[in-house]
Chain A
Amino acid sequence: DTGVSQDPRHKITKRGQNVTFRCDPISEHNRLYWYRQTLGQGPEFLTYFQNEAQLEKSRLLSDRFSAERPKGSFSTLEIQRTEQGDSAMYLCASSLRTGFNFNYGYTFGSGTRLTVV
């Protein structure tokens, strides 16, 4: 287990299609995050999980976006009825949060680049 893995690396889809991305975090990490990054901008928070529980979802996220983390292991992010504005790099990150409320740095995956045509 050498890092956070994301699949696929690239996805081109037609407007209106559904897409699903997968993230495999570092196994020892209990937190998993999804961020979206567009060119020239910083990562924008989408949602995060602690183990299998989805604890927060960005208010900016439309109902077309849904994320799951069954059994607290890998996670999937699904976008329904894609729009051109969904084109971006989707980054997954994992981290460890200890019982003493200490947050460690995030380890990011290489991302999935989505292009909606």
Chain B
Amino acid sequence: GQQVMQIPQYQHVQEGEDFTTYCNSSTTLSNIQWYKQRPGGHPVFLIQLVKSGEVKKQKRLTFQFGEAKKNSSLHITATQTTDVGTYFCAGMVVGAQKLVFGQGTRLTINP
């Protein structure tokens, strides 16, 4: 079945450093979504990417969708303590109707 792999599993940075998490799918995706889950919380939708090669920005967050629509990345510039949490990518296979989540990248920040 479809698999969505995310790396790294954990990332610890100093406040102010950049952070990147990568997502790879075994199959072509119709779209990819990113979610953030704070400790003890539930996943919260951040963004959806649909087009090949698409790049979207939300303040310090930059999301990319690969040309082949099989990979994606999330980059955070100059991390802040409010960025702490686990970031999940979730892909929807072409023709499917459900999201398949990656294992997540847990970000911790040293203030």
B107 to chain A, nearest CB (A): 14
The answer to whether A48 touches B98 (Cβ under 8 A) is yes
**Which of A40, A42, A103, A106 has the most C-beta atoms of chain B within 10 angstroms of its own C-beta?**
A42
The answer to whether A43 touches B103 (Cβ under 8 A) is no
Q: Known contacts being A103-B31, A105-B33, is A45 close to B99, with CB within 8 Å?
A: yes
**Which of A43, A56, A110 has the most C-beta atoms of chain B within 10 angstroms of its own C-beta?**
A43
- Contact stretch, chosen from B12-20, B42-50, B60-68, B71-79: B42-50
Range, interface on chain A: 20 to 34
**Count of chain B residues with a beta carbon within 8 Å of a chain A beta carbon:** 25
The answer to whether B42 touches A55 (Cβ under 8 A) is no
Q: Which residues of B contact A26 (CB under 8 A)?
A: none
The answer to whether B92 touches A108 (Cβ under 8 A) is no
Is residue A77 contacting chain B, with contact meaning CB distance below 8 A?
Answer: no
Q: Which residues of B contact A103 (CB under 8 A)?
A: 31, 48, 92, 97
Q: Which residue of B lies closest to A35 (CB)?
A: B101
